[in-house]
Structure 1
Amino acid sequence: MSSASTSNALYAAAISSSQLTKAIPEEAKELRHHQKNGKGFLNPWKSWNEQSAFKIISTVIYRRFSGKANTPDTKPPTVPVHKPTFLRSRNTQDLRATWLGHACYYVEFPGGLRVLFDPVFTHRCSPFSFLGPARYTEAPCQIEDIPTIDIVIISHSHYDHLSHPTIMKIKNCHPNAHFFVPLNNKAWFVDCGIHNVTELDWWDAKDLILSKSTEATILKAKEAGNDPETISATIGCLPCQHMSARSPFNKAHTLWASWSVESGGRKLWFGGDTGYRAVPELPDTEDDYSPELNLPHCPAFAQIGALRGPFDLGLIPIGAYSPRFIMSPMHANPYDSVNIFLDTKCRRALGMHWGTWVLTDEDVLEPPRILREALRKKGIDEVGVFDVIDIGESKEYASP
């Protein structure tokens, strides 16, 4: 069966508000992450440090020409790339996650739900096909190779997380896939001719039912006391500390988010793209976690863990963090990532947001090495708790 015909077998029959929306922090009702003029969003925490695009770009250029910047070596071998294997049957018992590079994961839930997170399959993460960061590891597959996509979840609008060519390919190959996006991103999809879109604000959640039957058939079956063949899920939009833009003129016009997905009795948290703390410029030898600094960290992750956790699996960014004084508000380093893992109450985690494009200064294989150091420092096993896998590799998690 082709990808498109498999996708056509199921579609979103019903989307409704979820009871999860009752589990929100008191201050979230104040919508402090909304700009007062109603034209965008912000990070409402002391852990955030606002930096202008000019400052970031000028600092990067200065570091490059002054010799202070590191030039990562992308010559092979770097991250192994395998052709992924996807399950053909929806009758699965385990939670299964496949890393497709950078922040893209394909997750197969028990009971049949299939979710694709932040898909970017283009050679460059850029508005241009001829300019911008180019892959140093190949995409392990293409959209046409994925047998079923029920839901696509987008964390934010940056080009390494939202790719127009990739989204159009999904539209063609999986026309009934339903997209979940943060607030104010829906218009972009509608402009692309995609209307199966639900946009949510932080702490919003929706219940979703997928069925092989029409909605009328589902209602008749329930009235007759029968159980129609359906897949149910709850999708939650949650905070993270980041920013959005697709041009120099629309910074923070659309919201950024992390996400939760619950289906088949399993719960997953997708971190999207996030920072944890704003770290000032320090000597390379100084530990930015030293008690003397006592830098504030983003409180949203502990709130997520307390109110929506625990999670069976977290997909957590570990890369694109150097230099720290520029990148730390937006991107977690592995020490931050381990704290996010603990705050959100994830039982297991997989790393992402590395291994695909050179976006920052750290060496391409540094994130997993530093992650092991961070786990050791916290007294957490280096293997089996917060893991790193090859691109195209899958990891299965049996029911507890």
Structure 2
Amino acid sequence: MASVAASAALYSATTSPAQIAGAEPEDAQELKHHLKNGKGFLNPWDSWKETIGPMIIFEMIWRRLSGKSHSPYTTPPTVPVRTPSFLPTRETPELRATWLGHACYLVEFPSGLRVLYDPVFTPRCSPFSWLGPKRYTEPPCQIENIPFVDAVVISHNHYDHLSHPCIMQIKEKFPAAHFFVPLGNKKWFLDCEVHNVTELDWWQSREFTLSLVKERNGDSTVAVGDVDAKKPSPPGTMTATIGCLPCQHVSARGPLDKCRTLWASWSVESGGKKVYFAGDTGYRAVPRLPEGADDYDAALNLPVCPAFAEIGALRGPFDLGLIPIGAYDPRHIMSPMHANPVDSVNIFNDTKCRRALGMHWGTWVLTEEDVMEPPRFLKRALRDKGIPETGVFDVCDIGESREFVA
């Protein structure tokens, strides 16, 4: 990347509605996930079961009052937290991913591109600073400790994935960073006076070009992003293809806006490496079953979400998958929108990821499973599928970086 820095020159940033063509299902243009009245979105698969927020809250309260619920034990030690070691320059010999808690990863691509996924560093995932799920593991760093952020990818607008304070901090430190969001979320960013934002529907992609620009004092450079550039790129330019893909979930920031904006998984390809970010997703809807029953019993014949196999066939394979493994109990409530580790391994296989790291655990108590159960359950799920328990689909410490060699 030394040649990149040496050849840095001023390059203006523009945006264009042009779409990069990518393989998609035959029925993609039918937009089955769009409500017919144009006021929201839905999950268009048999694997989905509609959930009603107040009913979920009522049942969770009833489980607690009746003694059926389980309160996870969060007293340390739980998940180890270490101070991240980010690369100080854009020289990146291999694909590198650092888990920053819950669903947040910073991925350093060999091209020099730096992508931050679902950044939330606040003590609570809530619209309030004094109410809502509180972290039981501290964030390993803050936005100010990250040296480079070029693109920010958001899966959906739930508070454990989209944080207003964090977006404002990113805007302050990285004013040229470009945000990629699912359809319907751009207005929220514009209302926050964040204008470097591109919203996409499922199966849409954009070419993202990053150029190093001399600052006014001439002593340093900053990265400026350009979506679907029409001008020739100068030498040393970094490029990426960023694609919005389906997943099975819902969205809401308040009691009256459920599913008004889209949720998504994402692909990012740059420097010859391709990463799949599954966001927040379920895989199938599990009915209420007797305690201890196997919800993968073939006799149940539960449909699974077909989108992941389509993603693998049409956009895979991926060098790395970032896949949720937590927040899954009780299954009859959480399964439509949250994967358990067996689901996670199936998503890994369906999407044709070569390697994977787990996420969506270890930060807030959102459900009833023990806080350290997801990684244990993941190992069992891998073993049952004939996949090595380590070295293929792993978990890491919060703040830990992993490199992925071809």
Q: TM bucket by the smaller chain?
A: over 0.9
1:251 aligned partner, one-letter code? K
2:64 aligned partner, one-letter code? R
Distance 1:188 1:55, change over 3 A: same
1:235 aligned partner, one-letter code? I
Whether the aligned pair in 1 keeps the contact of 2:282 and 2:337 (CA below 8 Å) is yes
Displacement of 1:27 in angstroms is 1.2
**What is aligned with 2:58?**
58
**What is aligned with 1:104?**
104
Distance 1:108 1:36, change over 3 A: same
TM-score by length of 2: 0.92
**What is aligned with 1:160?**
160
Report Cα offsets for 1:145-200 as digits up to 9, x if no partner. 00010000000000000000111111111111100000000000000010000000
Distance 1:286 1:182, change over 3 A: same
C-alpha distance in structure 2 between counterparts of 1:285 and 1:255, whole Å:
34
- Counterpart among 390, 397, 400 of residue 383 in structure 1: 390
Distance 1:233 1:17, change over 3 A: farther
C-alpha distance in structure 2 between counterparts of 1:395 and 1:171, whole Å:
27
Aligned-partner SS, 1:307 = helix
- Counterpart among 286, 304, 308 of residue 311 in structure 2: 304
Displacement of 1:28 in angstroms is 1.2
Q: RMSD across aligned C-alpha pairs, in angstroms?
A: 2.1
C-alpha distance in structure 2 between counterparts of 1:188 and 1:338, whole Å:
34
1:383 aligned partner, one-letter code? T
C-alpha distance in structure 1 between counterparts of 2:298 and 2:231, whole Å:
61
2:351 is the counterpart of 1:347: no
C-alpha distance in structure 1 between counterparts of 2:64 and 2:144, whole Å:
39
Distance 1:11 1:370, change over 3 A: farther
Q: Which moved more, 1:161-170 or 1:206-215?
A: 206-215
Distance 1:12 1:329, change over 3 A: farther
Aligned pairs for 1:108-187 within 5 A: 108-187=108-187
2:179 aligned partner, one-letter code? F
C-alpha distance in structure 2 between counterparts of 1:184 and 1:23, whole Å:
23
Displacement of 1:215 in angstroms is 10
- Structure 2 unaligned residues grouped into runs of 5+: 1-7, 214-223
Whether the aligned pair in 1 keeps the contact of 2:72 and 2:365 (CA below 8 Å) is yes
Aligned-partner SS, 2:132 = coil
C-alpha distance in structure 2 between counterparts of 1:318 and 1:78, whole Å:
16
Whether the aligned pair in 1 keeps the contact of 2:22 and 2:204 (CA below 8 Å) is no
Displacement of 1:46 in angstroms is 0.2
Aligned pairs for 1:154-233 within 5 A: 154-213=154-213, 227-233=234-240
Aligned pairs for 1:307-326 within 5 A: 307-326=314-333
Aligned-partner SS, 1:367 = helix
Report Cα offsets for 1:59-101 as digits up to 9, x if no partner. 1000011010000000000000000010011121200000000
C-alpha distance in structure 1 between counterparts of 2:379 and 2:74, whole Å:
21
Aligned-partner SS, 1:292 = helix
Whether the aligned pair in 2 keeps the contact of 1:321 and 1:360 (CA below 8 Å) is yes
Distance 1:9 1:50, change over 3 A: farther
C-alpha distance in structure 2 between counterparts of 1:338 and 1:313, whole Å:
13
1:372 aligned partner, one-letter code? K
Distance 1:382 1:10, change over 3 A: farther
- Structure 1 unaligned residues grouped into runs of 5+: 1-7
Whether the aligned pair in 1 keeps the contact of 2:22 and 2:205 (CA below 8 Å) is no
Whether the aligned pair in 2 keeps the contact of 1:156 and 1:255 (CA below 8 Å) is yes
Distance 1:106 1:258, change over 3 A: same
C-alpha distance in structure 1 between counterparts of 2:72 and 2:10, whole Å:
44
TM-score by length of 1: 0.93
Whether the aligned pair in 2 keeps the contact of 1:41 and 1:255 (CA below 8 Å) is yes
- Percent of pairs with identical residues: 70
2:366 aligned partner, one-letter code? L
**What is aligned with 2:281?**
274
**What is aligned with 1:5?**
none
Displacement of 1:22 in angstroms is 3.6
**What is aligned with 1:255?**
262
Aligned-partner SS, 1:13 = coil
C-alpha distance in structure 2 between counterparts of 1:220 and 1:245, whole Å:
36
**What is aligned with 1:29?**
29
